[in-house]
Amino acid sequence: MNPNGDLNARDKTEQRLKYASGYHAPVLCNTVIQGLVTNPNGVYVDGTLGGGGHTAAMLDVLSSTGRVIAIDQDDEAIREASLRLPEAISSGRLQIVKGNFAHMSTLLAGIDLDQVDGILLDLGVSSHQLDAAERGFSHRMKGPLDMRMDQTQSLDADQVVNAWDEADLRSIFFRFGEEPKSSRISRAIVAARPIASTEKLADIVRMSAPRNAEAKTLARIFQALRIAVNEELQVLDQALEASVDLLTPGGRLAVISYHSLEDRRAKRFLRSGNLDGKLEKDFYGNVITPWKEINRKPISADEAEIAQNPRSRSARLRIAERLNNEKTN
Ligand SMILES: C[S@@+](CC[C@H](N)C(=O)[O-])C[C@H]1O[C@@H](n2cnc3c(N)ncnc32)[C@H](O)[C@@H]1O
């Protein structure tokens, strides 16, 4: 490591390998930990535990009194990370909580915490969720129309695809997939019902997509369905708002997003302090906000990381610090 704490290219590669597992490879790991952990004795929340890569890296830079509370709504992720980090759990340095990060304040209150020193949200799904055909997230594999991160929730992709009105389908394809052919695709889906699998859905989408745009169209439609099933934008909004009161002054929020709908929301919120992105100013023209942006431009993975982990290509990291003011919207 060089004196300012930055890793050289070889160390970065080693660090990535150290925290990656067959379940998931954490993206921008070193940058996230450096930007997020400012108090080695502090309490940090990993709102998206997944395979536990970022959590493990946080634990490694925290002192023996520092703690991580890790949240995930997927039982498989909780099982995986619990097997990976048994010592941290038994020593009390890591506490894993099942739930939705939208309800972070309540989940933390349940373990007697009302403020923490940092929060990480590494949004979306893990590689394991995408690669497990039976979870139904991927258009590349045959599986059930499921797509639930929390397998105990009742709404799944089957209900959306087979029971929602054509207008509702059109609306989610347009809003959550930014799909230009939303009308044509929702009409084709309704006409082909019942649709039993991801494979059949993918065939229908492919047939209604413009020539040479099949792959992009599939990605957009599956993304839209996943966002709808898991209410991903709504829960992100809830978590962003909750983080304002949860962070101690000087505490930091790090958000890694994987598509522009999420990144736009994080950017607006961390710039203005509200979900509309409306800048409120004081008498002197200073923006009134609970945040200081640590990076104004989102941080992306470098070529070496992308070569090692192609899924890091779309990652955008934003970090902001909670200011010492009363602004809570
Ligand atoms: C991109 S992965 C995180 C990977 C993790 N950072 C690692 O290093 O392995 C996202 C994880 O967050 C979980 N997740 C996504 N949205 C969630 C939410 N609203 N509440 C709780 N967990 C969520 C998913 O189930 C998944 O396991």
Q: Which of 182, 213, 231 is the last residue of a domain?
A: 231
DSSP for residue 118: E
Residues 150 and 218 in one domain: yes
Determine, yes or no, domain membership for 290. Answer: yes
Residues 158 and 306 in one domain: no
Report residue 328's pLDDT band, with 50, 70 and 90 as the boundaries: very low
Q: What is the pLDDT of residue 107?
A: 98
Residues 15 and 106 in one domain: yes
Is the CB–ligand 1 distance for residue 117 below 6 Å?
no
- Give the CB-side neighbour count of residue 317, counting CA atoms within 13 A: 26
pLDDT digits (tens, 9 = 90+) for 261-281: 999 999 999 999 999 999 999
Question: 274: CA distance to ligand 1 center in Å?
Answer: 24
- 3-state SS class at 306: helix
Determine, yes or no, domain membership for 278. Answer: yes
pLDDT digits (tens, 9 = 90+) for 124-169: 999 999 999 999 999 999 999 999 999 999 999 999 999 999 999 9
Residues 214 and 284 in one domain: no
Residues 173 and 254 in one domain: no
Determine, yes or no, domain membership for 2. Answer: no
Cα-based torsion angle of the residue sequence 22, 70, 134, 225 in order, rounded to the nearest 10 degrees: -120
Cis peptide before 194 (omega within 30 of 0): yes
How large a percentage of the chain has pLDDT more than 70? 97
Buried b (16+ CB within 10 A) or exposed e, 219-245: ebbbbbbbbbbbebbebbebbbbbbbe
Residues 219 and 239 in one domain: no
Mutate which of 17, 24, 30, 48 to test ligand 1's pocket (most atoms within 8 Å of Cβ)?
A: 48
Indicate the range of 5-9, 66-70, 75-79, 123-127 predicted with least confidence: 5-9
Residues 252 and 124 in one domain: yes
Is the CB–ligand 1 distance for residue 73 below 6 Å?
yes
| Residue 284, token pair as written in the block | 């002197």
pLDDT digits (tens, 9 = 90+) for 44-73: 999 999 999 999 999 999 999 999 999 999
Domain containing 167 — which CATH number? 1.10.150.170
Determine, yes or no, domain membership for 26. Answer: yes
Is the CB–ligand 1 distance for residue 122 below 6 Å?
yes
Count the domains in the chain: 2
Looking at 73-164, which runs of residues are DSSP E strands? 94-98, 116-122
Q: Whose CA is nearest to atom 22 of ligand 1?
A: 72
Is the CB–ligand 1 distance for residue 48 below 6 Å?
yes
Q: Which of 231, 252, 280 is the last residue of a domain?
A: 231
Q: CA 142, CA 283: separation in Å to the nearest integer?
A: 59
By residue range, what is the domain housing residue 298?
Answer: 9-128+233-322
Determine, yes or no, domain membership for 102. Answer: yes
- 3-state SS class at 47: coil
Q: Which atom from ligand 1 is nearest to the alpha carbon of 256?
A: 1
Is the CB–ligand 1 distance for residue 76 below 6 Å?
no
Q: CA 271, CA 302: separation in Å to the nearest integer?
A: 25
Domain containing 54 — which CATH number? 3.40.50.150
Q: What is the pLDDT of residue 256?
A: 98
Determine, yes or no, domain membership for 164. Answer: yes
Residues 239 and 216 in one domain: no
Residues 89 and 166 in one domain: no
| Residue 111, token pair as written in the block | 């373990």
DSSP per-residue codes, 185-231: HHHHHHHH----BHHHHHHHHHHHSPTT-HHHHHHHHHHHHHHHHHT
